Structure 1
């Protein structure tokens, strides 16, 4: 069985999962968001992700004689993967994570016009000196704050923004 880390180390599968964070999409919608990817390649990689349990089919409906499926991320995928994480696996997970962030930045930079200040581009690093109890309190409060905003539906007046966090003990 391929681990989730190994599965998502594939750049297109990573891009697909990133697009599905917080929203369901059909393969047609994925294709519109990934115009550089051949349709057959996209369908094949979506199939790999479904078979592995990373994506689930949340809806199906008939469209001109074919079944159109809507996919969502399976947020429990890979939970068993975290039982034993060694040095190499953690480095691979981190590399995949950083590559994904770099991919988002590349997509932004590919726009003909950019305005990092107006667009809210931000990256910072802050040191937190916390006891284990304070750290648990911080993570809980941070999760509660994120949940207030992460569940907002896609709308014309809203702009999708990716927030990536990394916590490493010093």
Structure 2
């Protein structure tokens, strides 16, 4: 079990780090839009409290960011689960492996972005310098000449979300 998987954060801490009200997070859980992770501890009975891992806190924060951009909580949770975490750190220099593919991290190493395209199904994660402009996303690039067939995309900065969550939860890490 990595430090990412130790349950140590209360629901209020996770909600604060994600930028949502505790009641909102509780409602998402009650409605089944969010599920507990493998290492989270679900509070059972009166007076017991949920404990979340850092991995789940990041997923909740990513979900909240997508919800702020118009994605439903349940769909956002699914998309957030597809965001990679590279050993609990920003992406290293060189290469990382995502879904079995080696991805080169470019000159802006450590920056991670997620793009969800207009069909609400297609998702792509961008690392470091592997995409530089919106034109490359929509029109293709030298490496990939196929443009996306959609006219819209939601782009969120996974690195910024992780930095915010780390800062908010630092006292409990």
Common fold: TM-score over 0.5: no
Structure 1 length as normaliser, TM-score? 0.27
In our comparison, the structure showing a higher alpha carbon Rg is 1
